[in-house]
Each structure stands twice: as C-alpha cells, then as structure tokens.
Amino acid sequence: MSDNKTDTPRNSFIVLILFIVLFIISSVIVGSFVWHIPPIDERVKNETEALKTTATIFGAIAVFINAYYAAKRAEAMDKSAEAANKSAEAANKSAEAALINAASAQDKQIAERFAKAIEQLGNEKIETRLGAIYTLERIAKDSTQDHWTIMEVLTAFVRENAPLMDFSEKNTGNSDSLGNSDSLIIVNTWNYQKPKEIEQKPKLQTDIQAALTTIGRRKSENDPENQRLDLRNIDIRGADLREAKLQKADLREAKLQKAELTKANLQGADMFGANLQEANLKQANLEGAKLIGINLRKANLEFANLQGADLILANLQEVFLREANLQGANLRQSNLRGAKLNGSNLREAFLEEANLEEVFLMRANLREAFFEKANLQKAFLIGANLQGADLTEANLQEAIIKEANLQGAILRGVKNLEQHQIELAKGDRTTILPENLQPPKHWQA
C-alpha cells in the first residue's frame, strides 16, 4: 500500500517534467521563426521541417512514456508472480507436512492393525483366526514394506498348525515295480504310500486353507530377491492351490497328496522328497524345479511344464504326462513304470538307468534324449521320434517301436532287441544297431 502512494506523486512529477521540456522545445522553435522571418518559400520549407521535428519529438516522448509505464507494469507483474510463488511454496510445504502427518498416521494405524491381527491368529475361535488372516492380506496389499513379513507370518502359521508329518509312512514300501537298477528300490521305499492311508487323510482346516489361499494369490512381484516361502515338512494333503504363486517356494518333504495344483506356478521350487501322490498338476509350471526323490505316483501332469526340472530318483509310476514339456529334464534313475507320456516333449532329457517299463511314449519327442541302461521293457514307442537318441545298453525287450524314427539313434549294446522289432521302425545308414541285428532293406531306400 505504501509503495502505491509513493509511486503516484513520482509519476506525476515525471509527466510534469516532460511537458516542461516539450514547452521549452516548442518555444525555441516558435521563437526562431518569430525573430528570423525568411522569405515565404523558405518559410514554408522551414515550417514543414519544424513540424517534422516537433512530430519526431512528440513521438519520442510518447515512446519514452510508453516504455516507462510498460517497465512499471512488468515490475508490478514480477512482484505479483514472486508473491504467487511464495504462496505456492508455502502451500507445498503445508501439503508436504500434511502428507507426512497422514503417512505417519497410516503407519501407526497399520502397526495397530498388524499387532491386533497377530494376536487374533492365536484365538481359539476359527472365525477370529480367519478374520486375522484376511486383515493381514489387506495390510500386505496396502503396505509393500510389510508384504514379506506378513507372508512369513502366514507360512509360519501353516507350518505350526497344519497336521504334523508322520515319518513312519516313508518306510511303507512295495517291491512290485522294480526296474533294472538297484537304486529304484530307494524310490519305491522312499515315497510309496498305501491307497488306504491316502483315503484316510484328515480334512484340511479352514483357516489353514485360507492362509494358503492368501499366500498363493499374493503380489509375488513384491517378494524380495533371494527369499523363499518356507513351507517345509508341512502336511497339507488335499489343499486347494489352484493357480497358486509358489515359484521358488521351499516345499521339501511336504505332504501334498491329492492336492489341487492346476495351473500353479512352481517354477524353481524346491520339492525334494515331497509327496504329491495323485495330486492334480495339470498345466502347472515346474520349470527348473528341484524334484529329487519326489513322489508323483498317479499324479496328473497333463500339459505341465517340467522343462529343465530335476527328477532324479523320482517316483513317476502311472503318472499322466500327456503332452507335457520335459525338455532337458533330468530323470536319471527315476521310476516311470506305466506312465503315460503320449505326445510329450522329452528332447535332450536324461533318462539313464530310468525304469520305463510299460511306459506310453507314442508320438513323443525323444530326439537326442539319453536312455543309457534304461529299462524300456514293453514300452509303447509307436511313432516316437528317437532321432539322435542314445539307447546304449538299454533294455528293449518286447518294446513296440513301430514307425518310430531311429535315424541317427545309437543302439549299441542294446539288450533283448529283436530283428522283427527293427523291421517296423524307421531308420537309415546313420542308425547304429547292435552287432546281432541288420539294417532293414527299406532303411537303405
């Protein structure tokens, strides 16, 4: 307000000075004409020049006045902008303070909700425990920093409250399906369980299932690197884990008989010695999973992805693996007796010393697979692609290899292979046969 009052007389004074200057200049010009009156022609010329000069002076004065007031307006606008910036900065600081206060209040609220939920997990009433589980799930969604802590709490809850594993069941074995390797005895005694014992499994508690569902549908992208869900040694037979996100989970020695794992993501999971007998793993992703010594007897793995999986000493008797992807999988010394792998991809898979007795491998891709010393008695290999496969010292007694492609295959030292079997297969000069067999005539065509 004081600046405006000061500017008003200052502006009036400047205008007055300009008019005085203008008056003096005009007087000088007029005086020059009064005191010196030239001839009429020269006078007209001089008057014209005087008018031009006067117009120029007035124009310059007008430009000066306009520039002056333009500068004043710009100065006023700068001051207004500066004031607006200061107001904006003050507003931003207030907003930041409000956000900090809100975040602090939210953190406090989350901490209170978390503490209460943890307390309720130990409540005797299942309704209270269920409420606690769903509260923890909401907190995990709301707070990224609490996500993994909550997953650890829930996995611990499952481990502590699910039925405990009865290790005596591991010693219940059978000896009716031995292959051509003594190591297969380990497979059968390690994981075999009588059907009656499976049928008598306890029903999974509702709160345990709720916790597993919450774990399975979590935002896995918020999981920290180099961390695994710890679900070791748990008994969750019959659990519903459809589409569960269990990648890299630690499921060693877990009991998952008859569990529902359709489309579950178990990529990179460690399932050493786990029992998944009769489990449903249709379209499940087990790429790169560690499945050493696992029991998958009668499990459904149709269309499953087991690329690069480690299945050494696994029990895969009567497993359903139609059109499954086992490319590069390690199945050394595994038991696949009676397994159904029609149309499956076993390219470059390792099946040394594996038991493949009565296995169904019709139209399967076995290109460049390794079958050294494997047992393929009575195996169904109709239309299978065995190009470049290594069957050194494998047992092919009564194996049906009709229309199987043996181009480039190595059958050196193969046991119990008859000439009539070879006659039905496809091969060429690159096929290496045992010494007692001759290439069929149609191979040379």
Residue 415 in domain:
no
Separation in Å, CA 55 to CA 18, 41, 48, 50, 61: 15, 21, 11, 8, 10
> What are the C-alpha distances in Å from 352 to residues 179, 258, 329, 356, 369?
12, 29, 12, 10, 9
Report if residue 55 sits inside a domain: yes
SS3 406: coil
Which residue in this structure is represented by tokens 């005596």? 168
Tell me phi and psi for residue 238, to 5 degrees.
75, 10
Burial of 263 (0-12, 13-18, 19+ CB in 10 A): middle
- The H-or-E segment that residue 108 falls in is helix 40-121
Q: In whole angstroms, what is the distance from residue 104 CA to residue 141 CA? A: 18
Per-residue pLDDT in tens (0 to 9) along the chain, 445 residues: 555 555 555 566 566 666 666 666 666 555 555 555 556 666 666 667 666 666 676 666 666 677 667 777 777 787 777 777 877 777 777 677 666 666 566 677 888 999 999 999 999 999 999 999 999 999 999 999 999 999 999 999 999 998 754 444 443 333 333 333 333 333 333 343 444 444 555 589 999 999 999 999 999 999 999 999 999 999 999 999 999 999 999 999 999 999 999 999 999 999 999 999 999 999 999 999 999 999 999 999 999 999 999 999 999 999 999 999 999 999 999 999 999 999 999 999 999 999 999 999 999 999 999 999 999 999 999 999 999 999 999 999 999 999 999 999 999 999 999 999 999 999 999 999 999 999 999 998 6
Cα–Cα distance, 268 to 290 (Å, whole number): 7
- Which amino acid type is present at position 388? G
Is-contact 356 335, C-beta < 8 A?
no
Q: How far apart, in whole angstroms, are the C-alpha atoms of residue 1 and residue 350?
A: 91
- pLDDT tens digits along 275-317: 999 999 999 999 999 999 999 999 999 999 999 999 999 999 9
Residue with tokens 């696992």: 294
CA distances from 288 to 247, 310, 317, 353 (A): 10, 7, 21, 21
Look at residue 350 and tell me if it is in a domain: no
Nearest CA to 386 out of 331, 348, 436, 435 is that of 348
The pair of structure tokens assigned to 429 is 């000069």
Q: Does 48 fall in a domain?
A: yes
Instruction: Return the structure tokens found at 391.
Output: 């069957």
Question: Could you tell me if 180 and 375 are in contact, meaning their C-beta atoms sit under 8 angstroms apart?
Answer: yes
DSSP 3-14: HHHHHHHHHHHH
Q: What's the pLDDT score for residue 90?
A: 72
Measured CA to CA, the distance from residue 263 to residue 52 in angstroms comes to 95
CA pair distance 294, 359, nearest whole angstrom: 19
For the chain, what is the domain count?
A: 1
* Contact call for residues 434 and 416 (beta carbons, < 8 A): no
User: What single DSSP character describes residue 34?
Assistant: H
| 191 within domain boundaries | no
Distance CA 355, CA 359 (A): 9
The partner residues of 295 in beta bridges, in order of sequence, read 275, 315
CA distance 300 to 242: 13
Residue 69 in any domain: the answer is yes
Cα–Cα distance, 99 to 163 (Å, whole number): 46
CA–CA gap between residue 434 and residue 439 (Å, rounded): 10
Q: Write the CA distances from 169 to 197, 233, 251, 416, integer angstroms.
A: 9, 13, 18, 37
Sign of CA dihedral 124, 125, 129, 135: negative
pTM (predicted TM-score)? 0.72
Burial class (CB in 10 A: 0-12, 13-18, 19+), 361: buried
For residues 46 and 246, give the distance between their C-alpha atoms in angstroms, rounded to a whole number. 104
- Note whether residue 305 is domain-resident: no
Dist CA 394 CA 414 (whole Å) = 5
Q: Which domain range does residue 32 map to?
A: 2-119
Q: Which residues contact 439 (CB under 8 A, 6 or more apart)?
A: 422, 427, 429, 431, 433
Instruction: Determine the pLDDT at residue 20.
Output: 66
Asked whether 366 and 342 are in contact (CB, 8 A), the reply is no
| Number of Cβ within a 10 Å radius of residue 223 | 17
Residue 113 within a domain: yes
